[in-house]
Structure 1
């Protein structure tokens, strides 16, 4: 066996995917954790005394994130109050099982846990949505609803920050997707460690694992013997992201540095100053931060509740016409009360 590249004198047991260095287990742990600490400290992300909500799915990324944040919080005296926040999308055979892992994380890491469900927030589970919309474009609904559910959960927890387990592979995939779609606004946001918190009480989103390779996260979880859920979502195989993932993995085989190169390219690309980018405002229906008068979640819900499940999927002109004709009257809204009420009602103001 080769000696550890960190020159500690021990035999190496792994080859680091990001750099190709041969490392012993202890040196790998230290380097992995120090890189995350460097990302946090260099960006001056957290303020002492803050409450940090960790988006916990039970998967490898969020499990490693929770473990490392707890470790670094104690080691470097961040002074943070860490809590777990999970979203129950209502996917039988997937999320119900992964939430058991989150419950185990709650016990192992001694962190409070808050679970938000699509059924309570929107009146629909993903199983019910897929039954209506089919397996094509279902990830659009899930992505929009999950993002809003995480924000609402963080607000309930009075969190100052919301951290997610997005790793370097995830971010590189998103860069590729946004380039292919020509979505410059999202291209600019997706490579930021801290997402712009403009929009009043919108809670900043943080990606501490943005420079951590997926393979290294798996290796860290394996050697640390962390408990995590590894089954893929039953609806994921049809997602558009899957095509970007396949492309990225093929490129990574040629050059492992391609992941970091793509991220750095996304960070340094300049947007045409003459191009008008959307400005954030508030949805006139639910008061959630949005770049449109009516947010995407409300449009999707309106379509589901009126028997037009593809309303938010079609061309924007058709959506806008429908909004102008049918969404001005708030009494037509069939969503759920944001006070946590499980019944349909007309209270769309989360502050009431």
Structure 2
């Protein structure tokens, strides 16, 4: 059976068949298309402006590793004029994050990018290992999601960055849209496809804070499988082990369903994203008002930010305090202010 030739250069042997276009490409043409599409996403979305100091959220995984590599590549190639830095959050997960941080450190050396690492233990006095022991595995993503988003914000402020770039890819965004539909979360559904988020609620498990530093997603239209192929073809060093506490996360069930849909319709990921972009929510949820937490003086849409509520529960031996229903939580707050025993 004859080997297919590259549908772009018509000369070299094809190594990749792209789901989004059905094109068969050789390695070099795949690199060109992959890098060009991300460049177009950056320029059309106006993700950066010259002189920006960009904090690249670096976990050591495939997405953040390729993001760091390609932002440096495109910054040099197209003269964006950006100051790039790596920002990592150490959640304190033994056998997972400690190993992945070694990869991030090596990436910093390989790409000549400065690196800042902040830990949950330093910021909050708790590691995720300790939180899981106190709360169990079921709700751990709520704590990790809230703490991580605030930690990224704190790190970016410390580094005096004007924008945060994250490795959220097309698969992640399609999953988020489906999660919001299944939850009936109209407020987040209307903002699920925003390529830049600022002063809005972030998608994910358990978050309800508004943020001051813009966050952008250069991989919004980039398939996860193509990120993996790019990393392998370029022989990039990345950490591939999944978080040991994430198998029970709701997102994981949505991811499995999306993969099944993709087998039937390869374009389903971009189809979902485009549907989300075109969706008109009749009565969008009210955006939270940006304010300051009265306890930690950090950005919050409530008097007390979600991170402080979760910490209060952990420190008082009532870890479910921050993950109960909002009506029950208001009752708990009133009881505490009145000096009642609410344990």
Fold in common (TM above 0.5): yes
Q: Which moved more, 1:13-22 or 1:300-309?
A: 13-22
Q: Which residue of 1 aligns with 2:290?
A: 280
Show CA shifts across 1:36-73 (max 9, x none): 10011011221111100000000000000000000000
Q: Which residue of 2 aligns with 1:53?
A: 55
Q: Which residue of 1 aligns with 2:189?
A: 187
Distance 1:256 1:267, change over 3 A: same
Distance 1:162 1:134, change over 3 A: same
- 1:37 paired to 2:39: yes
Could you tell me how far 1:13 is from its partner in structure 2? 1.4
Work out the number of aligned pairs and report it.
Answer: 329
Distance 1:253 1:162, change over 3 A: same
Q: Which residue of 1 aligns with 2:121?
A: 119
Could you tell me how far 1:274 is from its partner in structure 2? 7.0
Could you tell me how far 1:187 is from its partner in structure 2? 1.8
Q: Which residue of 2 aligns with 1:165?
A: 167
Alignment match of 1:25 (pick from 24, 27, 31):
27
Helix, strand or coil at the partner of 2:241: coil
Q: Which residue of 2 aligns with 1:132?
A: 134
Alignment match of 1:312 (pick from 312, 322, 325):
322
Provide the rounded CA distance (Å) in 2 between the counterparts of 1:74 and 1:192: 26
Which runs of no fewer than 5 residues in structure 1 stay unpaired? Answer: 330-352
Q: Which residue of 2 aligns with 1:267?
A: 277
Provide the rounded CA distance (Å) in 2 between the counterparts of 1:200 and 1:190: 14
Q: Which residue of 2 aligns with 1:335?
A: none
Could you tell me how far 1:320 is from its partner in structure 2? 1.3
Distance 1:52 1:277, change over 3 A: closer
Provide the rounded CA distance (Å) in 2 between the counterparts of 1:272 and 1:116: 41
Which runs of no fewer than 5 residues in structure 2 stay unpaired? Answer: 201-208
Distance 1:160 1:275, change over 3 A: closer
Helix, strand or coil at the partner of 2:105: helix
Q: Which moved more, 1:208-217 or 1:314-323?
A: 314-323
Helix, strand or coil at the partner of 2:5: coil
Provide the rounded CA distance (Å) in 1 between the counterparts of 2:284 and 2:193: 21
Could you tell me how far 1:327 is from its partner in structure 2? 6.4
Could you tell me how far 1:328 is from its partner in structure 2? 9.5
Provide the rounded CA distance (Å) in 1 between the counterparts of 2:154 and 2:192: 20
Distance 1:249 1:274, change over 3 A: closer
Helix, strand or coil at the partner of 1:136: coil
Provide the rounded CA distance (Å) in 2 between the counterparts of 1:241 and 1:153: 26
Show CA shifts across 1:144-165 (max 9, x none): 1000000000000000000000
- Name the Cα RMSD after superposition: 1.8
Provide the rounded CA distance (Å) in 2 between the counterparts of 1:318 and 1:195: 30
Helix, strand or coil at the partner of 1:105: helix
Alignment match of 1:12 (pick from 11, 14, 25):
14
Provide the rounded CA distance (Å) in 2 between the counterparts of 1:290 and 1:268: 29
Distance 1:327 1:284, change over 3 A: farther
Q: Which residue of 2 aligns with 1:154?
A: 156
Provide the rounded CA distance (Å) in 2 between the counterparts of 1:250 and 1:200: 34
- Does structure 1 conserve the Cα–Cα contact (< 8 Å) formed by 2:17 and 2:25? yes
Distance 1:318 1:86, change over 3 A: same
- Map residues 287-302 of structure 1 onto 2, 5 A cutoff: 287-302=297-312
Show CA shifts across 1:173-228 (max 9, x none): 11111111111222223311110247998100000001000000000000000000
Show CA shifts across 1:268-297 (max 9, x none): 212224754433332222233322222111
